Amino acid sequence: MKKNGLRYDSSIFPVKTPLYGVPDAPLFPYHISSSNIKKDNPEENFWEFPLSVYRIPVIKKNIPIAGGFYLRFLPYRFVSYAIKKINKANHPAICYLHPWELDPKQPREKSLKWYHYYRLHSTERKFKQLLRDFKFTSTRRWIEDEGR
């Protein structure tokens, strides 16, 4: 990616799921090491923006809150609480959603698992509430303003 002029990525999800995850990766933006994706290397000039998780303090378990299924599945109050905690610690919350998640009436494909369509009707409402409740910026602007 660096060879093609990119300066950042958001592929790491610091959580373990049956499908993906790097549970012991850093939780917040870091200069990803080219030799170990779980390590911050300030000498590198490539940023990783891991998708946001809320780390439950007592049991030290990461709960995904960033978007997609998790935004649909979790109550908005929990997602909002987690983002506020992340922001209060002076870190950005990295959120996402898939465009298809804004269409609850999309045709159903039988080969997809139940969670693909779970609570699609809630996505737009929660997304609009996030936009009302929080300040957002681009990754590029965050790097310029905060990342140095």
pLDDT in tens, 53-82: 999 989 989 999 988 999 999 999 999 999
Q: Is the pLDDT of residue 1 over 90?
A: no
How far apart CA 123 and CA 131 sit, in angstroms, is 12
Cβ neighbour number for residue 142 with a 10 Å cutoff: 17
How far apart CA 75 and CA 71 sit, in angstroms, is 8
As a dihedral over the C-alpha atoms of residue 32, residue 37, residue 38, residue 43, rounded to 10 degrees, the angle is -30
pTM of the model: 0.90
Contact between 89 and 108 under an 8 Å Cβ cutoff? The reply is no
pLDDT for the residue 50: 97
Q: Judging by DSSP bridges, how do beta strands 53-56 and 61-64 pair with one another?
A: antiparallel
Residue whose C-alpha is closest to residue 82's, from 72, 69, 68, 92: 92
pLDDT for the residue 19: 85
Look up residue 13 and give its two tokens: 């999800």
Domain-by-domain residue ranges, the chain? 1-50, 65-134
How far apart CA 93 and CA 66 sit, in angstroms, is 8
pLDDT in tens, 98-110: 999 999 999 999 9
